[in-house]
Structure 1
Amino acid sequence: MAVVFFIVILFCDQAVKVYIRSSFLPGESLSVIPHVFHITYVLNPGAAFGIFANQRAFFIAAGVLLFCLAVYFYPRLRREGRWLRFSVASLLAGAAGNLIDRIASGLVVDFLDFRIWPVFNLADIAIVGGVIGMMLVILFPARFDADAERRRQHG
């Protein structure tokens, strides 16, 4: 199921980005809730908040490394609880969504604009959600990883 979750997140991220690229001009903004939420087409050359701008090779290498590590650790991950598997799937789907943008153009398509925060995208939400999920599993394993603990006790 985590693989399906990964595919759904990646598909939604890319589908919305295709829509944004085909419906907006860079910098164009549509007010959804005035002064609160807008759809704003931004091409981001960096990471969160635009840091490390124009470091395309670095971000592509980091994304590829992340996927190589995920493939390497996949057999161990399969034995872990579903919360960890879904958290990692979310993180990887978000990283893949932004990696596709970086490979294609060197720029990440951002569009969610709450006016009090830099513009971001669905992939960014997936990355943050995946990291938070992994932190919860690490900090509270009995609460979030009970199914893995039961499997370890029974065999």
Structure 2
Amino acid sequence: MSENSLQGPAAPSILRRRTFWLLWLGCAAFAYVCDQLTKWWVTSTMIEGQTTPVIPGILQWYFIRNSGAAFSIGENFTWFFTLIMAAVSVAIIVMSRRIGSAWWGVGLGLVLGGALGNLTDRLFRPPSFAMGHVVDFISFPNFAIFNMADMAVVGGVITICLLTLLGVPMNGIKEEDAKAAAEETEND
């Protein structure tokens, strides 16, 4: 019997799992590097509070340091957000072993890269370790000011929500396929 016949037709091969895991890792690295490079660019070329029109009336760069969460909520709880981002990052890393779907790899990779990007700010930016303020700079009129890490997290969460609504399991094996494979194995 071959290895694939022992696993059943619904089980992703080891090579496919590695591909999904590399996709996850690649998306996380891409989101993290984009975030850190854009924050480096902003802190190197702008002063805090400076605005630069990009598309007048629609988009501007507005450099601020955010000690809170989205919409500057919880500005006095920076340490709490540091712990939350660390916990989310660890949870995603632990869950990564179960990725058996390309889209789950993309979604979880984006969330991980974004969480690590903002966690890096919390840990290493002023005013102190684990109390750092996140660099935000993307601004639309009458909307929050955010960064690339925030965009990655939102994109990843939307992807994960859509996968959940569509019934795509993280391991890539739909329940009915797993049952069919188990029945086929029993009949052999």
Q: Tell me, yes or no, whether TM beats 0.5.
A: yes
TM-fit CA distance, 1:60: 1.2
Distance 1:70 1:25, change over 3 A: same
Q: Residue 141 of structure 1 corresponds to which residue in structure 2?
A: 167
The partner residue of 1:40 within 52, 62, 65 is 62
TM-fit CA distance, 1:74: 2.3
Q: Distance in 2 between matches of 1:56 and 1:151?
A: 45
TM-fit CA distance, 1:34: 1.4
TM-fit CA distance, 1:154: 5.5
Aligned residues: 152
1:119 aligns with 2:145: yes
Distance 1:154 1:10, change over 3 A: farther
Q: Which amino acid aligns with 1:29?
A: T
With normalisation by structure 2, the TM-score equals 0.74
Distance 1:11 1:20, change over 3 A: same
1:66 aligns with 2:88: yes
TM-fit CA distance, 1:53: 0.7
Runs of 4+ with >3 A deviation: 147-155
With normalisation by structure 1, the TM-score equals 0.88
Q: Which amino acid aligns with 1:24?
A: M
CA RMSD of aligned residues (A): 2.2
The partner residue of 2:119 within 95, 99, 123 is 99
Percent identity reads: 30
Q: Distance in 2 between matches of 1:62 and 1:4?
A: 23
- Bigger Rg over Cα: 2
Q: Distance in 2 between matches of 1:151 and 1:114?
A: 45
Larger helix percent = 1
1:15 aligns with 2:41: no
TM-fit CA distance, 1:151: 7.7
TM-fit CA distance, 1:56: 1.9
Structure 2 stretches lacking a partner, 5+ long: 1-22, 126-131, 183-188
Q: Distance in 1 between matches of 2:148 and 2:135?
A: 10
Structure 1 stretches lacking a partner, 5+ long: none
Could you list the per-position Cα deviations for residues 118-153 of structure 1 after superposition, in whole angstroms to 9, with x for gaps in the alignment?
1111111111111111100100125x98x5449856
